[in-house]
């Protein structure tokens, strides 16, 4: 405990320089602007900014990316409140109560509630990051090839299940497609080149950054230009409406704490992300609220729950990303790629090789939280102005960065083609109802899955039993079976009926 505080203090001292504060300020500001604009997501922002951080020192680069991530997730609330369009998918639940408040002429008030909720949500997540990450890292050291194989399978399955709405099979398919993409190029055990079809450029595999920039950048550009234009609701400048809403936060302190914990736990689940964190927190708040009839009509509690929940996912998603190299969300997947680029190897060894790094990340998140609070309260009218930039002028600028960003990493025209391919593929898959996070997680986890399956089989001399009999493996197998069963509608209905019958029997006795 004391050691953790000492490391946190050291991390704070390391990052408390003018240069770092400056980086935190501009990156968070940019993140809020990116998140505010419908069509620019946190994943896209982090992916594009990764390409701009190659020449920065390691700590500064990671700080910039984390501030972009936190800023963009928070910034999504602006357009959710003013346009009824979530700036990022994370703010979808925010529209339910944020937009009705804006229509009542209380947009500035709603934005200040969202700012306070996001700030508190991230703080809850940071506390849980510091508490859980070292423990999870210790636990992960006990994992062998068999457990890592199941972890990768579970990650892709649960991500597919929770992000695909009513059709889990589409989530699974997206995950399998991502894993298939990861099969391209030189494999990790024998350096045999697979599925390169004679293209030398494919020998090294598909780059994650070009694929992500395409799937989240070009696909978003196409989506934004395809959809009808949105109309901005003008916020009234009522006196004091933009001030921090600590009284409301105190009134709904249980909701804040619950949403923060739910958000962080959702963040821990591989490849699920902020939108699910917000929805889960919103649903829990509605179920427990005394004012549930107000939900959807401009409920302050609902808005607080949604914003606290989505912001708490950010630190939560970084916990598995840092300790297992398994991202908790799509932007965290890009962050993993960025960590490798900057010479940091996320995974169970991180607490041994770089024990201070997790605490540095916690302090970086804290800087980003302070920045969103200050900017959110003081610059609300500026972000309203940003929302009025015509999409016809913004999108070509975004696409220019989508082209030059992936090129800058390897200086290969081929990576621009990869970006374009994944852009069109991402758009088509989205239109057909396939979620993107499992696809991304598949690309990230393909190597882990492949190496650990074959390494495990080699260790056991082809015997499958260790995959099912080792204690941690058994836990993962049980979780996977449960996940798949929960995705089958007939099973879900039967379980619902059974639990209803048991509840009725309980009431009868």
Partner 1 sequence: MRADLYTAPALFVLGAAMSYGGYTMDRLEIRQIHPASIPGLLPMLLGAALMLASVVLFLQARNALASGPQPEADTGSTRDLVLTALSCGVYALLLVGNIPFPAATAIFVASFILIFEADPSRGKAHLARIAAIAIVLGVAVAAATSILFRYAFLVRLP
Rule CB under 8 A: which residues touch partner 1?
52, 54-55, 167, 169-170, 172-173, 176-177, 179-180, 183, 187, 189-190, 192, 194-195, 218, 221-222, 225-228, 390, 392-393, 395-397, 399-401, 403-404, 407-408, 411, 413, 416-417, 419-420, 423-424, 431-433, 449-450, 453-455, 457-458, 461-462
To the nearest whole angstrom, how small is the minimum distance from the Cβ of residue 456 to partner 1? Answer: 9
Nearer to partner 1, 121 or 446 (CB): 446
Which one, 24 or 182, has the nearer CB to partner 1? 182
Instruction: Give which of 438, 435, 391, 398 is closest to 419, Cα–Cα.
Output: 398
Best CA proximity match to 177, nearest among 487, 453, 441, 415 = 441
Which residue lies nearer to partner 1 by CB, 386 or 403? 403
State which residue, 200 or 461, has the beta carbon closest to partner 1: 461
Nearest to 73 by CA among 86, 90, 85: 90
User: CB of 39: closest distance to partner 1 in angstroms?
Assistant: 11
Residue 460 Cβ vs partner 1, minimum distance, rounded to whole Å: 8
388 burial type by CB count under 10 A (0-12 exposed, 13-18 middle, 19+ buried): exposed
Q: Which is nearer to partner 1, 352 or 459 (CB)?
A: 459
DSSP reduced 3-state for 124: helix
Task: Please state, in angstroms and rounded to a whole number, the distance separating the CA atoms of residues 333 and 207.
Answer: 13
141 vs 481 by CB, closer to partner 1:
481
CB of 135 to partner 1, least distance (A): 31
What are the b/e assignments for 176-192, b being 16+ CB within 10 Å?
A: ebbbebbebbebeeeee
Taking the complex as a whole, the smallest distance from the CB of residue 331 to partner 1 amounts, in Å, to 22
Shortest distance in whole angstroms from residue 189 CB to partner 1: 6
Q: If you ran DSSP here, which 8-state letter would residue 195 be given?
A: S
Own/partner pairs, 283-290, CB within 8 angstroms, 24+ separation: 284/258, 284/259, 285/255, 285/258, 285/259, 288/254, 288/255, 288/258, 289/255
52 neighbors 405 (Cβ within 8 angstroms)? yes
DSSP 187: -
* CB closer to partner 1 out of 302 and 406: 406
| Residues 367, 307: Cα–Cα separation, whole Å | 18
Task: Please say which residue, 5 or 199, places its beta carbon nearer to partner 1.
Answer: 199
User: Residue 234 CB, nearest distance to partner 1 (Å)?
Assistant: 23
Beta-carbon contacts of 347 under 8 Å, excluding residues fewer than 6 positions away, are 140, 323, 324, 325
Q: How many CB atoms lie within 10 A of CB 301?
A: 27
Q: Which residues pair with 193 in a beta bridge?
A: 186
N residues, the chain: 509
Kindly tell me the burial class for residue 2, based on how many C-beta atoms sit within 10 Å of its own C-beta (0-12, 13-18, 19 or more). exposed
Closest CB to partner 1 among residues 300, 453: 453
Considering beta carbons, is residue 198 or 462 the nearer one to partner 1?
Answer: 462
Q: Please state the closest distance from residue 436 (CB atom) to partner 1, in A.
A: 16
182 or 363, CB closer to partner 1? 182
Are 325 and 49 a contacting pair, CB within 8 Å?
no
**Among 353, 359, 495, 272, CA closest to 14:** 359
Return the residue matching tokens 């902020």.
Answer: 274
b/e burial code for range 266-299 (CB count within 10 A of at least 16 → b)? bbbbbbbbbbbbbbbbbbbbbeebeeeebbeebb
CB 18 → partner 1: shortest distance, Å?
A: 20
The least distance separating partner 1 from the CB of residue 275, rounded to whole angstroms, comes to: 17
Q: Which is nearer to partner 1, 20 or 453 (CB)?
A: 453
Helices (H), 164-273: 168-182, 208-213, 219-226, 246-251, 253-268
User: What gap in Å lies between CA 507 and CA 509, rounded to an integer?
Assistant: 6
What is the nearest approach in angstroms of partner 1 to the Cβ of residue 424? Answer: 7
- State in angstroms the smallest separation of the CB of 459 from partner 1: 9
| 139 φ/ψ angles, rounded to the nearest 5 degrees | -65, -40
């Amino acid at each position: 405990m004391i050691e953790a505080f000492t490391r946190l203090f050291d991390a704070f001292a390391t990052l408390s320089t003018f240069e770092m504060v400056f980086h935190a300020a501009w990156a968070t500001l940019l993140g809020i602007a990116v998140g505010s604009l419908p069509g620019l997501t946190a994943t896209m922002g982090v992916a594009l900014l990764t390409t701009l951080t190659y020449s920065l020192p390691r700590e500064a680069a990671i700080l910039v990316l984390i501030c972009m991530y936190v800023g963009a997730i928070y910034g999504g609330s602006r357009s959710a409140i003013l346009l009824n369009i979530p700036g990022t998918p994370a703010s979808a639940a925010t529209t339910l109560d944020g937009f009705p408040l804006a229509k009542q002429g209380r947009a500035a008030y709603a934005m200040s509630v969202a700012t306070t909720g996001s700030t508190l949500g991230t703080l809850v997540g940071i506390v849980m990051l510091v508490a859980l990450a070292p423990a999870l890292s210790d636990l992960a050291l006990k994992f062998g090839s068999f457990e890592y194989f199941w972890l990768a399978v579970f990650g892709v399955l649960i991500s597919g299940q929770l992000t695909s709405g009513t059709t889990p099979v589409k989530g699974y398919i997206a995950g399998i497609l991502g894993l298939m993409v990861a099969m391209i190029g030189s494999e990790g055990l024998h350096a045999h080149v697979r599925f390169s079809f004679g293209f030398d450029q494919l020998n090294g595999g598909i780059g994650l950054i070009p694929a992500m920039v395409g799937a989240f950048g070009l696909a978003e550009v196409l989506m934004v230009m395809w959809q009808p234009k949105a109309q901005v609701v003008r916020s009234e400048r009522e006196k004091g409406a933009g001030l921090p809403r600590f009284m409301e936060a105190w009134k709904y302190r249980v909701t804040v704490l619950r949403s923060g914990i739910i958000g962080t736990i959702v963040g821990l689940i591989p490849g699920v992300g902020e939108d699910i964190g917000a929805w889960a927190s919103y649903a829990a708040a509605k179920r427990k609220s005394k004012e549930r009839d107000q939900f959807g009509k401009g409920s302050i509690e609902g808005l607080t729950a949604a914003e606290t929940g989505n912001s708490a996912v950010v630190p939560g998603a970084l916990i598995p990303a840092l300790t297992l190299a398994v991202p908790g969300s799509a932007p965290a997947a890009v962050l993993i790629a960025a960590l490798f680029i900057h010479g940091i190897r996320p995974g169970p060894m991180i607490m041994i090789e770089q024990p201070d790094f997790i605490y540095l990340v916690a302090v970086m998140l804290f800087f980003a939280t302070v920045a969103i609070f200050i900017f959110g309260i003081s610059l609300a009218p500026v972000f309203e102005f940003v929302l009025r930039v015509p999409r016809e002028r913004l999108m070509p600028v975004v696409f220019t960065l989508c082209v030059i960003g992936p090129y800058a990493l390897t200086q290969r025209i081929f990576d621009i083609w990869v970006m374009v391919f994944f852009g069109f593929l991402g758009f088509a898959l989205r239109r057909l109802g396939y979620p993107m996070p499992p696809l991304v997680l598949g690309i990230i986890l393909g190597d882990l899955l492949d190496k650990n399956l074959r390494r495990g089989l080699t260790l056991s001399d082809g015997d499958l039993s260790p995959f099912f009999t080792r204690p941690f493996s058994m836990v993962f197998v049980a979780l996977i079976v449960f996940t798949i069963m929960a995705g089958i509608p007939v099973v879900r209905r039967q379980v619902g009926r059974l639990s209803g019958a048991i509840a009725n029997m309980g009431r009868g006795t």
